Amino acid sequence: GNKTHGLTWPCSTDKPGHMSDKGVFSHVLRRLHINMLNRPTTSALSLVLFGGMLFYAGTHIDVRAAAGGITAPAAPQNAVVTAPSGVKSANVFVDTTVGAKGLQKKERYQSIGMKGVTLWFTGFSGSGKSTVGKRLEEVLVRDYRKHTYRLDGDNLRFGLNSDLGFAKEDRTENVRRVGEVSALFAESGVIVVASLISPYRADRDKVRRIHEERGLEFVEVFVDVPIHEAENRDPKGLYKKARSGLIKGFTGLDAPYEAPLNPEVHLMSHQMSIDEEVRAIIKALAARGVLTATENTPNWYPTLIPPDGGMHWEPPAYSTYSVAAARQFPQVLLNDIDLQWLQCIGEGWAAPLKGFMREGVLLQTLHYNSMLIDEFDLTGNADFNERKTNFDDYSTKLQMGDRVDMSVPIVLPITAASKMMIGNKKQVTLIAPTGKPVAVLTDPEIYDYRKE
């Protein structure tokens, strides 16, 4: 027999290569009987495991003898077995049992912290598709740490689509191939930046359907410039060649371009800077939950502003300071209402607030029933509301952020005596009415409470 981990499996002598059921079971039972006498606890566990294996083998796997060894397990009864035409049997089957589909998109997206999507850039040659696409890829990878890959029409024609020309049917096939590849990338959780002229609306709509049928996000980005502006740019000299007759069927001159009717993102490229275009695209991605792996975007966004500004905010850890350490800081006694507001802030119910309002946020609340946020740090002011108020910070750049509803002033009033006690200290301990320390306020800002 063949020894494996100290257990001998005897083979019958009448059928070489076939494991005798009687020989195997009788041998194992004898071994268990001997072990029960020597090591009853271990053997009892072995008996349970052995019985479990017998049950599983009897209900799930059919092992058959063969002259050359043991055949592959037979397919489960509810599996669909497929075989090539003319072939009697096959060991490949499609398992339709529960969980057979493998890793799901939702689990993949949550694992990598982002959501796959295809950004389909369309527009004239020279409109700026590749330029904006390159810059967008840089920002998403370097600043947002998001897996992004650019599929450029020019580069793809040297490899995947090297067999295609510029006739209408070749353009259609070019778009189809790139659309299928983009869908695969997007399903894997990648942000795909596909830049193609793709002049025909029907072809682009077909790519959209490919994504929609797989439950994937598809964002059409129309890089819109007048044809004369694109021709003036002519970065590759293609318009000049087309005008001279060296290129036939050039889009916008002697071949049509069908502009998108309802693109998700419309960039007036000749009127916007590259950074403005990138910012508009990232805002569209954020609205779809791509940057945070949110599975579904609420149907009221962005028509109405979500109460928390669309931000996913984790409460800070409260174990930073021990009770003994907190007792060393200046202390402010809270009343019942103050304590309730503290709970709202600490549990995230007042998001995007992460503490009691500073003066700048309070004035926004009083005058505009809202507050400025920069959730994705597009203006470099993501921590704006956590910094001490500096009215010079309310610059034109910051105004490009978003406003979220905030109509209730959430402040912590203190007495003149508390103000003197705090002074220039960087930490203040908040005391519950019961006398228990409940929070530490860092970098406090003291200001006159305006009621105008």
Catalytic residues: 198
Task: Output the CA–CA distances (angstroms, integers) from residue 277 to 150, 217, 284, 297, 378, in the order listed.
Answer: 16, 20, 11, 22, 12
Distance CA 382, CA 379 (A): 8
Kindly report the length of the chain. Answer: 452
Phi-psi region of 98 (alpha: psi -120 to 50; beta: other; left: phi over 0): beta
Name the CA radius of gyration of the chain, rounded.
34
| Three-state DSSP state, 34 | helix
Nearest CA to 33 among 20, 19, 50? 50
Distance CA 199, CA 180 (A): 18
Give me the amino acid identity at 319. Answer: S
> What sign does the CA torsion over 164, 166, 172, 177 have?
positive
Structure token digits, residue 155: 């580069």
Burial class (CB in 10 A: 0-12, 13-18, 19+), 380: exposed
Q: DSSP class of residue 139?
A: I
Burial class (CB in 10 A: 0-12, 13-18, 19+), 98: exposed
Virtual CA dihedral for 169, 170, 176, 181, nearest 10 degrees?
A: 170
Structure token digits, residue 263: 């693109």
Phi, psi of 291, rounded to the nearest 5 degrees? -80, -15
Burial 9-34 (b: 16+ CB within 10 A, else e): eeeeeeeeeebbeeeeeebbeebeee
Structure token digits, residue 396: 């034109």
Structure token digits, residue 94: 């499609």
Sequential DSSP letters for 235-257? TTSHHHHHHTTSS-S-BTTTB--
Distance CA 139, CA 22 (A): 69
Nearest CA to 93 among 79, 114, 104? 79
